[in-house]
Amino acid sequence: MAIEVPSKSGEFRRSAKLMGNTFEITIVADASDFANQQINLAISEIQRIESLLTTFNDNSETNLINRYAGQSPVKVSAEVYNLIERSLRISSVTDGAFDITYGSLDKSLWNFDKNMTNLPDIKTARAMVRLINYRNVVLNKDASTVFLKQRDMRIGFGGIGKGYAADMAKSLMIRGGVKNGIINASGDLAAWGCQANDKPWTIGIANPDHSYLPFSYLNISDMAVATSGNYEKYAVIDGKKYSHTINPKTGYPVTGIKSVTIITSNAELADAMATPITVMGIRTGLNLINQMNNIECIIIDDDNNIFTSRNINLITEI
């Protein structure tokens, strides 16, 4: 695939379907051959990570862990082991609002499309989440094994995988000599250096009522941004909008928040924190963010009120 060269000289951009999402990779370079080579390497790296984490390949490490749930530990690569270890750490910090064992949810009950006209009853919802518990993931560092304590437990990396892949592709290109670039993994952004005009990368934060329009802009460099919003996938039942984000403790969709944007140093953490802050709610979520270093947050509620962590000052168009 040839690189598209935009009107701004020195920037090379390509989009590709990866991990079930659209990744757009933009780098600043002097020569198209070099840019082409580096973007090819980045795409190959994302594909490699996808092969480890996907649940659409029976032989992926993720599916092997799931297959032997409740039966025996599974030896995994150091890369997957470390990602799971970091995921469990985030689960602990968020009191389970982030949980990679969400894979046991029955997606047939939560399709969030026009055919969804009723919510499951409370009893059914609670039954759905009985297997979601990050504390039942047992790690053995010496043996590099992962064990899910209960049968039918399933893990998935939908809440952290895109960000991790963006970080890994970014690191690979930096090692290859790319000093300036930005990776957009369907809204999860990892940026480093500057644009071709030596100015910081400018990104728009989506207006949740008009997702193709930004309500504010950020100039970033060596930062990552991720947004989770109910405008992405939702159902309207009896006139009320329900987000595709499920509270892992109740089995019910989160309400009251339209979008959460996380700004921090790496895309993995930004990706992983956006959903749990949505689950935790405005007050608890911001309280957590304000206790953490080098991470900021912007929340928009259902009434278009904007709430931010301590160090954010916004000029908005909402």
Q: Is 46 exposed, middle or buried (0-12, 13-18, 19+ CB in 10 A)?
A: buried
Residue 54 has what pLDDT?
95
Residue 109 has what pLDDT?
65
What is the pTM (predicted TM-score) of this model? 0.90
Residue 3 has what pLDDT?
38
Locate the domains of the chain by residue range. Answer: 11-50+160-308, 61-148
Residue 207 has what pLDDT?
73
pLDDT tens column, 134-173? 999 999 999 999 999 999 999 999 999 999 999 999 999 9
CATH superfamily of 11-50+160-308: ApbE-like domains (3.10.520.10)
In this structure, whether the domain defined by 61-148 belongs to CATH 1.10.10.10 is answered with no
Separation CA 26–CA 182 (nearest Å): 5
Residue 66 has what pLDDT?
96
pLDDT tens column, 300-310? 998 889 999 99
Say if residues 16 and 23 touch (Cβ distance below 8 Å). yes
Averages of pLDDT over runs of 10 residues in the chain (318 residues) are: 45 95 96 96 98 93 97 98 98 96 75 72 81 96 98 94 97 97 93 95 79 75 90 74 82 87 96 96 96 95 91 65
Residue 200 has what pLDDT?
93
**Equal fold, 11-50+160-308 vs 61-148:** no
Residue 222 has what pLDDT?
93
What is each CA distance from 119 to 44, 108, 240, in whole angstroms? 41, 12, 11
